[in-house]
Amino acid sequence: MKTQQDAATFLLRIALAFGFLSAVASRLNLWGTRSSGWKNFVHYTAETNSFLPQSWAASIAVLSTTAELSIGILLLVGFQVKKTAWCASVLTLFFATAMSISFGIKEPLDYSVFAFSAGAFLLSTFSRYTWSLDQLLH
């Protein structure tokens, strides 16, 4: 049972890491023609945060991208997984809430943002993280 839990924890950590890193790669046009691009992301940020001044969109886009890149890298290498996963959960819960306010509940449900947030929260509850930098350091 412990081996299955270790494997599941590892796979959840890696899936969340790649989810964050893929989103960042799309904004930076690293996915080629399948990328959203920075300009589109800033526009989407303004739409998603429609309850905030539109002039904040670029700053929110930079902050969220920086947070997502940091979280993605930290989860990928497995450093400070418990804290990083909790931050990932909070960030995606904020995103899901903003989406719900601006577009209605269907949008974050269709994109599984609540599930992503819950998965990150679940990851933050484990006491050990095999195949991680945390494991090597302890």
Q: What is the pLDDT of residues 17-73, one digit of tens each?
A: 999 999 999 999 999 999 999 999 999 999 999 999 999 999 999 999 999 999 999
What pLDDT is stored for residue 71 in this prediction?
A: 98
Q: Residue 2's pLDDT is what?
A: 84
Q: What is the CA radius of gyration of the chain?
A: 16
pLDDT at 138: 87
Average pLDDT, the chain: 97
Average confidence (pLDDT) over 73-99: 98
Closest CA to 61 of 75, 48, 45, 49: 45
The CB-based long-range contact list for 49-56 (8 Å cut-off, 24+ gap) reads 49/98, 49/102, 50/101, 50/102, 51/98, 51/101, 51/102
Instruction: Please give the pLDDT value at position 1.
Output: 61
Q: Within its chain, how far is the Cα of 50 from the centroid?
A: 20
Does pTM top 0.75 for this prediction? yes
